[in-house]
Amino acid sequence: MKLFMASSAHLLLFLNACLLLLPLLPTSGQRSTYIIHMNSSSMPASQPTHHDWYSTILENMSLATPNSTTSGRPQLLHTYHHALTGFAATLTADELRAMEGSSGFIAAYPDLEIKLHTTRTPQFLCLNHDTGLWPSSSYGDGVVIGVIDSGVWSESPSLNDGGMSPAPLWWNGTCELGTRCNWKLIGARSFNVSSSTADGESARDNDGHGTLVASVAAGAPVSGASFFGYANGTAVGMAPRAWISVYEVADGRTLVAFTCNVLAAMDAAIADRVDVISIAMGLTDLVPLYEDPFAIASFSAMKKGIMVVFSAGNDGPSNYTVTNAFPWAITVGGSSVDRRLTGTLTVYGDSFTGVSLYPLSKLLVDLPLVYNATISHCNSSELISQAAAGKIVVCHGLGGIGSMFYQIAAVNASEAAAAVFVTDDALFLEDGEFACPAIALDLDTGEVLLRYLSSLPYPTASMEFQETQVSGFLGPVIAAPAIGTYSSRGPSLISPDVLKPDVVAPGTRILGALANPFAVKSGTSFASAHVAGIAALLQAANYHSWSPAAIRSAMMTTAHQLDNTGDPIKDSATNSEATPLAIGAGHVDPNRALHPGLVYDAGEVDYVSFLCSQGFSQEQIMAIVGVDSYDCSSPSPHLNYPSFIAFFPPQPLWPGPQSFMRTVTNVDTKPAVYRAFVRQPVGFTVSVQPEELVFNATMATNTANFVLTIVQNEEPVTVVSSGSLTWVHEEFTYTVRSPIVVVAERAPAFP
């Protein structure tokens, strides 16, 4: 598992990180950490608490399984009451086998290792002080966002409590020693406990990831914020009046966390009564829903009415890479905003502007510009020094982001004064950092520069840094949003019947709080932080009356699919139109989500019915939904979800028509008529019955049912074909859109 931040400082780590799944059965003398799922109804009456029960089990187990090669006894690390019922402990192979025979035992999950995965976005998302979601929600006042991450830097100006109210009377959270809480930061606890870490560490953020996520979701306004002059402006989170509670689970020194600690944090967040949980991390190696602690814990949160927001992952641009694809949560991909952080190269009056984040204020004037075949790939600091000492060197970056890092390192170790990198690597342009004075030009701009240089015998140039371009403001239009190359794509290997990600939000080059005090980072972590803040605003605006499914539906059905130029949102990896496998329902639109017209609602019963149709055993379903009674007498694959995905394998396996049953709820409560408009996927015919939905004034007729059917007409010409269903209000007050995705492959079967 890893935190989904595509920071360039860790970029090679996240591109190559592999989940270290601890063996199910360690050697007889070796202890490993396991999460033990227990049936609480099996607790003996003689035990006063669950903690006592678990302690007794471990003590008896130690006596029953003596092992001279193992020092010490099983260690009880965490006790879980809300995310699931059970505990985490260190066990040997013999002890684990004995545990499986204990009364009340449901399952054992090996602990999984985790690698650690704004001044413009409020305006880009059209949040303003006069109309829309901000004033309607009182900026998130009365909502608590729980951030499960690497901790918090409580001295950050984004966590100042000016204008905030004290923590509510019902708040159960606490602030541990070592963290300064206030009326903004009302909770801070550390759960960074495992077999390899010491108990009692504070919730202080040594990495910065958690502080940045918290500030993007709900940071207080801070004027004059910037990253060394880049992205200057007023930094403010999506829900600036919401309370924040932070749960530290990741060691900022080693960039490692474990699922047992994350599960303990989720357990505490549920008990503390947060309203929204933000989790910017996920498993790298996929496991079934019934073995995924995040799936189980987020189901428990959903039952309590808590909206859980997950990042989709940074393993794009390939399909089938999305993680956290739980039907009861919201999964968020990352996109760009209409702002560029740049530097400029000027050659005899002609300017070439490229990406830069070089942090120092430096002006280079009339230095020789060097480009030749010997040093064009800039892979030798010695050759660069010989050819370009005290000069600006031009490097042609080919071979991907790994090659770019080597080039930057070579230039930084050389005697060159600065560098210009010409690259076709979209990921570096989205997230590259600069250890030396440099700018990066895309391939088209770079080729213009190289042709120009070939006509000049002894070119000289000047360079400036710390520039910020905003679309249309004394500069060119910057097409946005565009889907980040890093952002993970669907379909989900775990739950392919549900389209994931659900939506996308700003995740590329986002300014947020850090200890110094601001930084610019990229990744789906920050996209999900935006959506967590927007979810808090929607809860506040609707007086906590909407379910998590209704909030997700409102964001999905009002999302937009066009960029600021009026063209379809593009995929940065291909520079072509993005498919719903990358953008889900589209780019989140907070103000439109405030008034969605209709919502696709769902609750615990609906999710259980869906799980019952997925071929899981009774024990597997129990592991997900808990030990409470549930009804599988009417299993249904027709989960009331605001999107549609169907798999049509090629001939001779063409399936017959595929139908989807849905129910929509009129949240406007006024009488209304909606009519269906369908955009057909190429090669398929989509029909909807009925084509008209009528809602009367009474609450008894506040819902309506329909069936959507997909029929294949011809052999698909592409693997992915997409369309949409839009319910349009008779007076065009609302448009309620759902994406339709048809994949010309057999649905994946998880091993």
Residue from 215, 226, 525, 553 carrying the catalytic annotation: 525
DSSP state letters, 271-337: HHT-SEEEE-EE-SS---GGG-HHHHHHHHHHHTT-EEEEE--S-TTSSS------TTSEEEEEE--
DSSP-assigned beta bridge partners for residue 543? none
CB 80 within 8 A of CB 34: no
DSSP state letters, 219-288: PPPEEEEEETTEEEEEE--SSTTSEEEEEE-EETTTTEEEHHHHHHHHHHHHHHT-SEEEE-EE-SS---
| CA atoms 620, 625, 626, 630: torsion sign | negative
Residue count of the chain, please give it. Answer: 751
Of 63, 65, 107, residue with least CA distance to 85: 107
DSSP-assigned beta bridge partners for residue 679? 724
| Distance in angstroms (rounded) separating the CA atoms of residues 200 and 198 | 7
Active site residue 209: yes
Active site residue 525: yes
Of 228, 192, 133, residue with least CA distance to 530: 133
What's the maximum distance between 2 C-alpha atoms anywhere in the chain?
A: 91
H/E stretch holding 581: helix 580-583
Active site residue 492: no
Residue from 94, 111, 149, 601 carrying the catalytic annotation: 149
CB 588 within 8 A of CB 530: yes
Of 738, 670, 740, residue with least CA distance to 702: 670
Cβ neighbors of 130 (< 8 A, separation 6 or more) are none
CB 241 within 8 A of CB 134: no
DSSP-assigned beta bridge partners for residue 148? 247, 279
Of 498, 496, 492, 623, residue with least CA distance to 549: 498
Please provide residue 668's backbone torsions phi and psi, each rounded to the nearest 5 degrees.
-80, -25
Residue with the two structure tokens 């610019």: 520
Residue from 117, 209, 396, 587 carrying the catalytic annotation: 209
DSSP-assigned beta bridge partners for residue 708? 660, 688
Residue 28 sits at the vertex; the CA angle it makes with 27 and 34, to the nearest 5 degrees, is: 70
Pairing between β-strand 75-80 and β-strand 2-3 as defined by DSSP bridges: unpaired
As annotated, the active-site residues are 149, 209, 525
